[in-house]
Amino acid sequence: MDTALSPPVGQLLGGRYHVDSRIARGGMATVYLGTDTRLDRVIALKIAHPELSDDAEFVRRFIGEARSAARLSSPNVVAIFDQGSDKRLHYIAMEYVPGRTLRQLLNERGRLSASEALDIMAGVLTGLAAAHDAGFAHRDVKPENVLLTTSSGTVKVADFGLARSVAGGVQTRGGMVIGTAAYLAPEQVAGGTSDARTDVYAAGIMLFELLTGFQPHAGESPLAVAYKHVDEVVPPPSTVLPGLSGAVDALVAMATSRDPDLRPANAGQFLRAIQEVRDAQTPGTAPYQAPAGYDPAPFDRAAEPHPSLPLHSASRGSGGSGPLWAPAPDSASHPYQLTGPGSGSGPH
Ligand SMILES: Nc1ncnc2c1ncn2[C@@H]1O[C@H](COP(=O)(O)OP(=O)(O)O)[C@@H](O)[C@H]1O
Ligand SMILES: [Mg+2]
C-alpha cells in the first residue's frame, strides 16, 4: 500500500490545516507537509498515530510536547503554531523546515570535520539553551531530532515529545526510562533522573558521533547500550581520529562525564565552552590555550578521570571494558522504553 496517498493526506484538520503529503513516519507520529488555509502558508503537521489516540498518557504527552516547544522563541528551535484534535487525530501545526535531518547529513557524509561539527553543535546548544532557560529538558537529543535547512544550514531542534520540567526531574511512572539508548545519560539509566545536564550528556555523545561517524557505545540490545553509559567512559574521539585537537577531546569528555555534577550545568555553559574552542581554531585568532590543569597526555582507558577542563577536576570511579568500534545497531538509534531500576540502584 502506498501510505503516502492514504488518509489523512487530503484531509482538512480542524477546518484549517490541509494535509498535503507525508514527510516522515516515526514511532509515535507521522509528519506531513501541510497548508494553513487561513494564513495560506506551508506548514508541517505532526499527527499522532491514530491507534495511540486512546492512550490517555500518550495524548497528554503529545499535547505537552506542543506546549513545551510553544513556550520557546529561538531561531534554533522549530516554531510551534497550533495544536488540536480532529476526530481521532491529534496534531501539532508547526514551522516547516525544508531540508534534512542531521542523521541524513551524517549518513551522506560518514562524519563531519571538527569545525562543521562544532558549528552544528553551537546551533543545537543554542536551541537547547532556550529550553533550559525556560526550565525544561528536551530528553531526546539525537541527530534524528535536529533539522538543517537546505538554504542556510540553520540548525533547528525538533521533537520535544519527551520534554519535561527540570523541577519535576524524576522519571516517568513505574521506573520506566524513556529515551534513545545510544544517547541516554548514566543517571537516566541508573537513577531514573534527568535535568538539563542529561541533555548536555546526549549532546556530548552526538558531538562524538558527528566527529567519528560512530556512537561511542554499541551493544547487542538497547539495554546493553544503556548500561554502557553507566559502566564505561566515552573514549576521546582522537582515539579514532588521530590529530584531532585535545581541546575537542576535552569538550566530549566534559559533556559526557558520568557524574552530572562534572558536566557543564546546562546547554548554555556547554555552548560557551564550544565557542571558546571554535574561536581559538579560527585562523587569525590566538591559538587554543589549554586551561591550567588540563593534561593533554594520551588518554589511558585504565586511568580515570577523563582528560577534561578544570571545571571537572574531581576524580571518579574506574571504567569498564573497552569500546566496541562498530556502527551501532539500528536498535540503539530508535526511541524505546526500557524497564530500569526505579531509583539509584547499581547497574544490571
Ligand atoms: N517541522 C518539520 N519540518 C520538516 N520535517 C520535519 C519537521 N518536524 C519533523 N520533521 C521530520 O519528521 C521526522 C519525525 O519528526 P519528530 O518530531 O522527530 O517525530 P517522532 O516523535 O516520531 O520522532 C523528523 O526526523 C524529520 O525528518
Ligand atoms: Mg524524533
- CATH number, domain of 42, equals 3.30.200.20
| Residues near ligand 1 (Cβ within 6 A) | 23-24, 26-29, 31, 44, 46, 78, 94-97, 101, 144-145, 147, 158-159, 161
Q: What is the pLDDT of residue 191?
A: 83
Q: Which of 191-200, 213-222, 315-324 has the lowest mean pLDDT?
A: 315-324
Q: Does residue 132 sit in the same domain as residue 200?
A: yes
Q: Which residue has the cell 494553513?
A: 36
How many independent structural domains does the chain possess? 2
Whether the pLDDT of residue 304 is over 70: the answer is no
Question: Is the per-residue pLDDT at 296 higher than 50?
Answer: no
* Alpha-carbon span 123 to 115, nearest angstrom: 13
Q: Residue 1 falls within a domain, yes or no? A: no
Ligand 1 atom 25 nearest Cα: 144
Name the 3-class secondary structure at 184: coil
Reading the block at residue 216, the C-alpha cell is 561511542
The pLDDT value recorded for residue 127 is: 98
**Is 140 a residue of the active site?**
yes
Å from CA of 157 to ligand 2 middle: 10
Domain containing 75: what range? 12-94
Dihedral-angle region of residue 110 (phi above 0 means left; psi in -120 to 50 means alpha; beta otherwise) = left
Q: What is the mean pLDDT of residues 28-52?
A: 95
**Mean pLDDT across 58-71:** 90
* Predicted local distance difference test score (pLDDT) of residue 163: 74
Q: What pLDDT does residue 46 have?
A: 96
Q: Give the pLDDT confidence score for residue 190 in this predicted structure.
A: 87
DSSP code at position 165 = E
User: Is 348 inside a domain boundary?
Assistant: no
pLDDT at 306: 36
Task: Check: CB of residue 101 under 8 Å from CB of residue 109.
Answer: no
Pick 199 or 68 by higher pLDDT: 199
Q: How confident is the model at residue 241 (pLDDT cuts 50, 70, 90)?
A: very high
Answer left, alpha or beta for residue 288, where phi above 0 means left and psi between -120 and 50 means alpha.
Answer: beta
